[in-house]
Amino acid sequence: MATNTESFEDTAITPASLREALGSFPTGVAVVTTLSDDGKPIGLTVNSFNSVSLEPALVLWSLALSSPSIGAFRKHRAFAVNILRKEQEDLCMKFARPADDKFTGVNWTDGYRGIPVLDGAMVTLECEMYQIVEGGDHEVYMGTVKRIHKTDSSPLVFHRGQLVQLAS
Ligand SMILES: Cc1cc2nc3c(=O)[nH]c(=O)nc-3n(C[C@H](O)[C@H](O)[C@H](O)COP(=O)(O)O)c2cc1C
């Protein structure tokens, strides 16, 4: 073990120490969208997105149980994962706080079962809900990929609490 290693066990594993440890794992950033009961677009920034299976085509992400958007995701049972380009830091921040008007000034089109597909995302995966799994203070949403839109742009990256870009 490296000499500057800090170790934690059991009760010393607090939300803060866990968040810090997990933050060392760089991820992409996506805005996950769905539709509310009354047809309003819903969306939030996530970095919990990941691949699950190629055949069948399955992906997952997780949503905090405290999110006001939870009812819409549970009910509509379809979502789009809009993976952000390196230039879309503003969009990432806009969808990372609770607000009624997150979609104001954002261009999007109707996708699979009406879910919002954001214009200009690096890649969008339109999904049908496959399974909802309990996950502590989050709920894990696994989806079957129904449509893919992709570009060859470069991703926005989240690492140690910061938005960064890949070195070329
Ligand atoms: C880079 C980044 C990643 C995030 N990842 C998640 C995530 O995976 N799941 C989650 O529930 N919230 C995540 N959040 C926090 C939500 O974006 C934030 O709580 C937002 O307000 C949720 O939208 P809502 O309040 O309308 O539900 C993330 C925020 C940032 C900045």
Q: Is the CB of 33 under 6 A from ligand 1?
A: no
Domain total of the chain: 1
Answer yes or no: is 46 within a domain: yes
Ligand 1 contacts CB of residue 59 (under 6 A): no
- Which domain covers residue 132, as residue numbers? 12-158
Alpha carbons 161 and 157: distance in angstroms, whole number = 10
Name which residue sits closest to atom 24 of ligand 1, judged by CA: 98
The pLDDT of 53-74, averaged and rounded, is: 98
- Pocket lining: 60 vs ligand 1, CB cutoff 6 Å: no
Distance 46 CA to ligand 1 centre (A): 5
What's the pLDDT tens digit per position in 1-34? 777 898 888 888 999 999 999 999 999 999 999 9
**31: Cβ–Cβ under 8 A, 6 or more apart, which residues?**
43, 44, 45, 46, 82, 84, 91, 92, 95, 118, 121
- Please check whether residue 7 lies inside any domain of the structure: no
CATH code where residue 147 lies: 2.30.110.10
In a domain, 17, yes or no: yes
Residue 2 lies in a domain: no
Share of the chain above pLDDT 70, in %: 100
Task: Tell whether ligand 1 has an atom less than 6 A from the beta carbon of residue 67.
Answer: yes
Beta strands 123-135 and 138-150, pairing class: antiparallel
Mean pLDDT of 56-72: 98
The answer to whether position 47 is within a domain reads: yes
Asked whether the beta carbons of 36 and 78 are under 8 A apart, the reply is: no
Question: Is 168 inside a domain boundary?
Answer: no
